[in-house]
Structure 1
Amino acid sequence: MIRQDDTGVEALRHGEYKIPGGKLVVVDLRVAQGRLRDVQLSGDFFLEPPEVLDAINAALVGLPSDAGATALEAAVRAALGPDVVMYGITVEGIAVVVQRALA
């Protein structure tokens, strides 16, 4: 795993989280100049419609790398439409896996 140094050089991060009673959630992302970049959420969960995964990834891009759970959850919730159904994954679980990647 590549870490960001004090000069703000880009860092690749990886996190995993098994949601209790749910599925494995994985995130790969980059940190550049203190912001999340190239966020890619994956795992053995399901989303309906499937396109919402792109919206979740996009919602996390640009957030500060020191964003707390509340800010991460708010960004994800803002990306979810009223008809989105999440199987084996939660908004809170997404925040946890991102925080693990950044730890």
Structure 2
Amino acid sequence: METRWATIDGVHLELPTDCTVDELRMAFRKPCDAVLIAVTGDLVSVVHDEERPLAELVAGCADTYYFSRPDEPARNEVLATPELESALEEPTTDETTFQRPGIDH
């Protein structure tokens, strides 16, 4: 199994390339309502399909991941962006991807 390095909620570790959101949630002992947010360069992805391997999604290229819960205070500008709130309210695909806040395009 291939692995790569990523940071999840501030912890830098080796991450299997074929892991799923559900597997990460269980490994980090996060509640089932915690959503995985992935940051890849200038993109942010909210993963809605918890059983699909991250490697099959844009989120699989991320180097930083956050678990976020509803009504949790935002810990940084990525988790405070209005696009994140919209992505959580009405998911239409396996993941919702948008431009990272604070990046000039």
Q: Same fold (TM over 0.5)?
A: no
- Of Structure 1 and Structure 2, the greater helix share is in 1
The alignment's TM-score, normalised by the length of structure 1, stands at: 0.29
The alignment's TM-score, normalised by the length of structure 2, stands at: 0.29
